[in-house]
């Protein structure tokens, strides 16, 4: 959400929309705000055609609905008691379409020219294609940065850093062994995406610091070739890992590196110099 300072334009929006929220018709001016149909960060302009009048409550609902995982529990039937749910639903859909169009275009352009994505572009693609809200996107970026930096230097040139599934997911593979993937999905079927989780390789016999044991729901995959598993972790949990935990992660990576050689995937994400070992 972003406000703008053009008072004349703001007054035009108020007049056009009848000085009331477009969805629930609430008329109390201090509670009304202008909503960008196409968000500014996605190329939307401060133009009358791109602005609508919403109350603060309906504004929050539109932004929550436009996310991949709505952060409120209201149902359309409940919303009808005080407003038109179709209005907020259509506005949210416009925002979702804007995100997909922008990221899909970047993906197609890069794929066609065969240039490598930067790590920043990869994180941005995952963020937009999965409709993560800003706080979640920041945790995702921090988690990816930490994991990439903690891959043992001697293995980095052997790893594949990949943006996959039309730019929706980022993974790190050592040959065909998965070291990291976000969002979390199994190769056959998907798990964890509703909670915005990721997979991280880990020594089979160890647990992260502060954990008393490994819950079965935390293990997405067990490697037959060496003693390691893929843990299911949230972004915030990755960010909170301790130094001893990162040593355990590095040990699991090294076990994968010494395992039977399998197919190696090509990288399409180039690491900046600061991330290379």
73-109: pLDDT as tens digits: 566 666 666 778 888 888 988 887 776 666 555 555 5
Could you tell me whether strands 117-118 and 269-270 are parallel, antiparallel, or unpaired per DSSP bridges?
parallel
Per the prediction, the chain carries an average pLDDT of 83
Question: Within this chain, do residues 121 and 83 fall inside the same structural domain, yes or no?
Answer: no
CA distance 168 to 268: 14
Mean pLDDT of all residues in 35-45: 84
- Whether residue 130 sits in one domain with residue 55: no
Q: Return the exposure string of 234-273: e unless at least 16 CB atoms fall within 10 Å of the residue's CB, then b.
A: bbebbeebeeebeebbbbbbbbbbebeeeeebebbbebee
For residue 188, name the pLDDT band (cuts at 50, 70, 90). Answer: very low
Q: Answer whether residue 109 is part of any domain.
A: no
Q: What pLDDT score was predicted for residue 152? A: 96
Instruction: Report the pLDDT averaged over residues 228-245.
Output: 94
The verdict on residue 16 lying in a domain is yes
pTM: 0.61
Both 178 and 65 in one domain: the answer is no
Instruction: Answer yes or no: is pLDDT of 187 > 60.
Output: no
**Locus of tokens 């932004």:** 63
| CA angle (121, 267, 135) in 5-degree steps | 30
Residue 146 lies in a domain: yes
Work out whether strand 32-36 and strand 51-55 pair parallel, antiparallel, or are unpaired.
antiparallel
Residue 67 domain boundaries: 7-102
Boundary residue ending a domain (77, 102, 127): 102
């Amino acid at each position: 959400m972003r406000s703008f300072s053009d008072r004349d334009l703001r007054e035009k929006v108020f007049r056009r929309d009848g000085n009331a929220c477009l969805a629930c018709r609430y008329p109390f001016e201090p509670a009304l705000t202008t909503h960008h149909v196409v968000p500014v960060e996605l190329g939307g302009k401060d133009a009358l055609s791109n602005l609508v009048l919403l109350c603060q409550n309906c504004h929050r609902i539109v932004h929550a609905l436009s996310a991949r995982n709505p952060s409120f529990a209201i149902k359309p039937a409940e919303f009808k008691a005080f407003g038109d749910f179709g209005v907020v639903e259509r506005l949210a859909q416009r925002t979702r379409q804007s995100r997909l169009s922008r990221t899909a275009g970047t993906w197609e352009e890069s794929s066609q020219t065969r240039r490598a994505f930067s790590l920043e572009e990869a994180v941005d693609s995952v963020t937009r294609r999965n409709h993560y809200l800003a706080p979640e996107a920041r945790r995702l970026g921090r988690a990816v940065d930490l994991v990439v930096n903690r891959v043992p230097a001697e293995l980095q040139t052997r790893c594949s850093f990949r943006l996959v599934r039309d730019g929706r997911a980022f993974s790190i593979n050592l040959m065909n062994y998965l070291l990291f993937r976000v969002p979390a999905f199994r190769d056959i079927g998907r798990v964890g995406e509703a909670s915005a989780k990721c997979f991280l390789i880990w020594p089979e016999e160890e647990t992260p610091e502060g954990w008393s044991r490994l819950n079965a729901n935390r293990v997405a995959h067990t490697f037959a070739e060496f003693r390691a598993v893929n843990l299911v972790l949230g972004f915030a949990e990755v960010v909170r890992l301790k130094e001893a935990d990162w040593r355990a992660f590095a040990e699991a990576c090294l076990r994968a590196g010494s395992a039977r050689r399998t197919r190696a995937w090509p990288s399409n994400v180039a690491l900046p110099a600061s991330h290379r070992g």
